[in-house]
Amino acid sequence: MTERISEKAVLLGQQKAMVGIVTQPVAAELRGDRPAILILNTGIIHRVGHNRMYVNLSRALAQAGYVVLRFDLSGIGDSESRADGLGPLDAALADIRDAIDGLERARQAERVIICGLCSGADHAVLYGYTDPRVVGLVLMDPSVPPTARYYFAYIRRRLMRLRSWTNFASGRGVLARRLLERLAVALGLKLRPRTPSFSDRKVRSYLERVYRDSIALGIQFLAVFTAVEDSRQNYGEQLFDAFPSVSFGDQLRLEFFEEAGHTFMFESERVRLTQVIFDWLSRTNFTIRRGPRPPGAHDDIANAVSGVVGVIASGVGSAWLNLIYD
């Protein structure tokens, strides 16, 4: 800890049941012209993040003049579970609103940038366009539907692995399951309902609309993808190919960390990530959003997404489990 920044534990939400840490510059160096930054949990990982990446990122940002809040969603880490019975996704989105409300009241934050990895990135995307205070999103490995190019690269890599062939022969692999499912359909057999996946047209079209509406509202994007596991994406332009109707233009900066793992395990990867975030922040103009929400945006955040998208974005029965694990 340096003398230039301070850290303080805060309680968030109407019931003061969510726990967060505000990291900010000392009063003399506080920059009121900069957006506040909100960092979300990844799955059930505590607010420190994988390899303490969120602690170090928060402190680096605070030294540069930003107010940063990292907090635990309800039921994760030090935060208590919600008492209103909301489902996992709806609860997460309501928690994000409560956290931003807290930043606005205590730190006069009129503009907010949301940062998240994996499920945190998905929550950021699904929440961002519903709140005019959100002017930017830092998305690390958000869910992106597979494309023809993705499948080509994926299958080519799996064909080089002996385990893929043995799993196929034993019926445990993804390709074997797909063939058995089609055979069962052809024979008129009943199958157990499959977990919703990106093969569902309504899932893909919903996510595409969310991105399209976000761009229309002027939200700025930084998307960072990794590729070592190649379970979510395996080439840099997959986001463009998956959502062809979205004209990202200069509102998206895309970075592809081809040699990095999903959790940024090595310090060199986290240092590079921090440098990319700082460069994006310094080059981007974050303006306050005005005017009405786009058609189709929901007034009630608890109904912001359909049930099928909720299953995927909340990390319960992730679509990727249907696509990749063999």
CB 277 within 8 A of CB 213: no
pLDDT band at 264 (very low <50, low <70, confident <90, very high): very high
- Cβ-Cβ contacts under 8 Å for 85 (sequence gap 6 or more): none
Alpha helices, DSSP H only, in 36-87?
A: 53-63
The pLDDT value recorded for residue 2 is: 55
SS3 222: strand
- Across residues 39-46, what is the average pLDDT? 93
CB 11 within 8 A of CB 17: yes
pLDDT band at 255 (very low <50, low <70, confident <90, very high): very high
Burial class for 48, CB neighbours closer than 10 Å (0-12, 13-18, 19+)? middle
Residue 288 predicted with pLDDT over 80: no
Residue 32 predicted with pLDDT over 70: no
CA dist., res. 139 & res. 143, Å (int): 10
Q: Sheet containing 36-39: which strands, arranged edge to edge? A: 5-12, 18-25, 68-71, 36-39, 112-117, 134-140, 220-226, 252-257
In sign, the C-alpha dihedral spanning 308, 253, 40, 268 is: positive
User: Tokens standing for 29?
Assistant: 């160096």
First-to-last alpha carbon distance for the chain, in angstroms, is: 44
CA dist., res. 256 & res. 238, Å (int): 10
Q: Count Cβ neighbours within 10 Å for each residue of 73-110 and write b for 16 or more, e otherwise.
A: bbbbbebeebeeebebbbbbbbbbebbbbbbeeebebe
- Across residues 214-219, what is the average pLDDT? 95
Length of the chain: 326
> Residues of the chain with pLDDT > 70: what percent?
71
Domains of the chain: 5-144+198-323 (3.40.50.1820), 148-186 (no CATH)
CB 88 within 8 A of CB 316: yes
Q: Which of 220, 73, 20 is nearest to 134 (CA)?
A: 220
CA distances to 100, 302, 324 from 103, in Å: 5, 21, 39
Q: What is the pLDDT of residues 67-80, one digit of tens each?
A: 999 999 999 999 99
Largest CA-CA distance found in the chain, in angstroms, rounded? 73
How high is the mean pLDDT of the chain? 81
The larger pLDDT score, comparing residue 91 to residue 200, is at 91
The larger pLDDT score, comparing residue 181 to residue 249, is at 249
Q: Which of 113, 112, 109, 111 is nearest to 137 (CA)?
A: 113
CA dist., res. 33 & res. 203, Å (int): 38
Alpha helices, DSSP H only, in the chain?
A: 53-63, 88-107, 119-128, 148-159, 162-170, 174-186, 201-216, 238-242, 267-283, 307-313, 319-323
The pLDDT value recorded for residue 325 is: 31
> Residues of the chain with pLDDT > 90: what percent?
54
User: Tokens standing for 100?
Assistant: 């931003």
